[in-house]
């Protein structure tokens, strides 16, 4: 099978103290790729993740970030490994500091395996969920590696997702055979769970995909439709148009048609710096 070699380095730690080198089969979408990255790094997916590139001007993000997307945001499931440049950043628990610089090697590798991900080498126990301050303290020498307790005053706690006796356990060597034995099964389990939650979020929040694979903000749409509802109640000529269209297209399509006229009319008014004119609005509605 053909694989892509990728190296992930913890961005804020000493070189070669916390990294992974993996092989990725085929051309997975970036949601699945992120699940593989997070799994091999020991994440439990209690938090969101994203991928950034081109000096962070482009971000591939999960659904919650697409409700009010900033410039450069793209929905992560609509893009693939082949869309990424040679260098990018994987971020887990976004904003907390679990950032990994990633190097994608251009030359593909032929490897006799059917596994989706293979760990080639690495160092560092993994992501200490909700406990990055303790890892920073370890890296900066503020914790005695042989310390086996906790220090609430300094914010030093043991992670809940890895067994830690002494803090030096973070640097125990990885046993590649053991790491790879269940890695793919763990990736598939995490993918199923996180994707199920992602789809449920999309359903509950009302986010929809357009034909170009980009999200539009349904809250804006709902706000405009709410205005149309109010107009139907208080403006007889809007109600008349609505009743006529409803008999032909149904309630939802009728309201959407009125909303489209309303938005264009408001835009024209703003452009010409005019006040709302009932007669002009009524005239535009009559062409529906």
Q: Residue 220's pLDDT band (boundaries 50, 70, 90)?
A: low
**What is the model's pTM?**
0.74
Enclosing H/E stretch for 92: strand 87-92
Beta strands 208-209 and 87-92: pairing type? unpaired
In contact, 17 and 139? CB cutoff 8 Å: yes
pLDDT number for residue 214? 44
Residue 67 has pLDDT above 90, yes or no: no
Bridge partners (DSSP) listed for residue 209 = 215
Pick 115 or 95 by higher pLDDT.
Answer: 115
Q: Residue 144's pLDDT band (boundaries 50, 70, 90)?
A: very high
pLDDT number for residue 71? 85
| Mean pLDDT value of segment 25-50 | 97
Q: Residue 211's pLDDT band (boundaries 50, 70, 90)?
A: very low
Bridge partners (DSSP) listed for residue 123 = 19
| Mean pLDDT value of segment 5-15 | 96
Nearest CA to 63 out of 212, 191, 189, 215 is that of 215
Bridge partners (DSSP) listed for residue 3 = 25, 109
pLDDT number for residue 219? 58
pLDDT number for residue 160? 94
CA pair distance 241, 251, nearest whole angstrom: 12
Q: What percent of the chain has pLDDT over 90?
A: 73
Question: 3.40.50.720, 1.20.1260.10, 3.30.420.10, 3.10.290.30: which CATH number matches 2-124+174-209?
Answer: 3.10.290.30
Using the 8-state DSSP alphabet, how is residue 156 labeled? Answer: B
pLDDT tens digit sequence for 148-199: 999 988 889 999 999 999 999 999 999 999 999 999 999 999 999 999 999 9
**Domain boundaries along the sequence of the chain:** 2-124+174-209, 217-285
CA pair distance 275, 222, nearest whole angstrom: 24
| Mean pLDDT value of segment 18-40 | 98
| Mean pLDDT value of segment 241-264 | 90
pLDDT number for residue 271? 77
Residue 209 has pLDDT above 70, yes or no: no
Average pLDDT, the chain: 91
Query: Which of 111-125, 207-221, 242-256, 264-278 shows the lowest mean pLDDT across its residues?
Result: 207-221
């Amino acid at each position: 099978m053909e694989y892509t070699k990728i190296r992930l380095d913890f961005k804020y730690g000493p070189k070669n103290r916390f990294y992974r080198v993996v092989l990725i089969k085929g051309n997975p979408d970036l949601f699945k790729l992120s699940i593989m990255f997070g799994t091999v790094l020991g994440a439990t997916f209690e938090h969101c993740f994203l991928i950034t590139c081109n000096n962070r001007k482009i971000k591939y993000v999960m659904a919650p970030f697409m409700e009010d997307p900033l410039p450069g945001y793209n929905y992560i499931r609509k893009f693939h490994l082949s869309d990424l440049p040679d260098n990018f950043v994987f971020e887990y628990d976004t904003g907390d500091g679990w950032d990994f610089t990633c190097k994608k090697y251009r030359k593909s590798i032929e490897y006799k395996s059917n596994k989706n991900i293979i760990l080639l080498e690495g160092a560092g126990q993994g992501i200490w969920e909700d406990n990055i301050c303790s890892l920073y303290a370890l890296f900066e020498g503020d914790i005695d590696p042989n310390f086996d307790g906790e220090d609430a005053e300094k914010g030093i706690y043991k992670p809940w997702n890895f067994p830690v006796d002494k803090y030096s356990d973070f640097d125990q060597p990885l046993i590649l055979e053991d790491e790879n034995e269940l890695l793919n099964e763990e990736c598939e389990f995490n993918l199923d769970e996180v994707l199920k939650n992602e789809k449920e979020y999309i359903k509950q929040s009302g986010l929809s995909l357009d034909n170009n694979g980009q999200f539009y903000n349904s809250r804006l749409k709902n706000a405009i439709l709410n205005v149309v509802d109010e107009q139907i109640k208080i403006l007889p000529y809007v109600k008349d148009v609505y009743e006529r269209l409803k008999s032909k297209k149904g309630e939802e399509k009728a309201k959407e048609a009125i909303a489209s006229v309303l938005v264009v009319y408001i835009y024209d008014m703003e452009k010409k710096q005019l006040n709302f004119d009932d007669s002009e609005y009524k005239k535009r509605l009559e062409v529906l």
